[in-house]
Amino acid sequence: MLKIHDLHAGYGDGEVLTGVDLQAEKGKIVCLLGRNGVGKTTLLRSIMGLIKVSQGLVSLDDTNLTKLSTYQRARAGIGYVPQGRDIFPQMTVEENLLLGLEVRGGNGKIEDRIFELFPVLKAMLSRKGGDLSGGQQQQLAIARALMSQPRLLILDEPTEGIQPSIIQDIGRVITRLKNEGDMMIFIVEQYLEFVLEIADYCYVMEKGSIVLDGPVDQINVNEVKKHIAI
């Protein structure tokens, strides 16, 4: 289980997160919704150790991650796909994928399962990452994260700038990963329909704190819309 308790974090003297409590369980998809600027990406950066937290706890199963470095958190089992994907544009698809093995000491190879999940990548192994479409880059970024065999997969805005057909493909992959039952999946998203289709549990953030949460099949969708409407 990913557990976040009373998390406070920010930049410089400015506090963005003001006591966040949140958890994600194995075999479940948990989504965090909210407008731009409410602290969603700051929360993910706090989980990954990219910014320091001033108070609170981040733990994965029995491991307290709060004071660990980013690479130590990756080795503890977190696969992170940031907003904007951050693939390496001058490296080939194959080289980008192989980078995902670094957390495992560089050992291993690209398994057939990656191409089962993302068939388009198999035909593009020698193509540079920068030559891929936005949707193909997103698939590559998720595949690279899966190369590390994470226990927790974090996706920041996976549908952003992606055409509808690719969004459906990504949704099917995420659902398949959930159904395999050996991974926690935590998604930050603004596309409510996507969340309602794939998620098991939903949190809504506003001004750095959780203001609404519940199982997706029980949550008040109209209330959610009020909090995320621009």
94 DSSP assignment: H
Is the full-model pTM beyond 0.85? yes
- For domain 2-228, which architecture applies? 3-Layer(aba) Sandwich (3.40)
**Beta carbons of 149 and 104 less than 8 angstroms apart:** yes
| Strand, helix or coil for residue 89 | coil
- Write out pLDDT tens, residues 83-117: 888 899 999 999 999 999 988 787 788 999 999 99
Block means of pLDDT (10 residues each) for the chain, length 230 residues? 94 92 94 94 94 94 92 93 89 95 84 94 94 94 95 94 90 94 92 93 95 95 88
- Write out pLDDT tens, residues 188-211: 998 899 999 999 999 999 999 999
Angle ∠(211,200,176) on CA atoms, nearest 5: 140
**Beta carbons of 173 and 142 less than 8 angstroms apart:** yes
Q: What are phi and psi of 57, to 5 degrees?
A: -135, 135
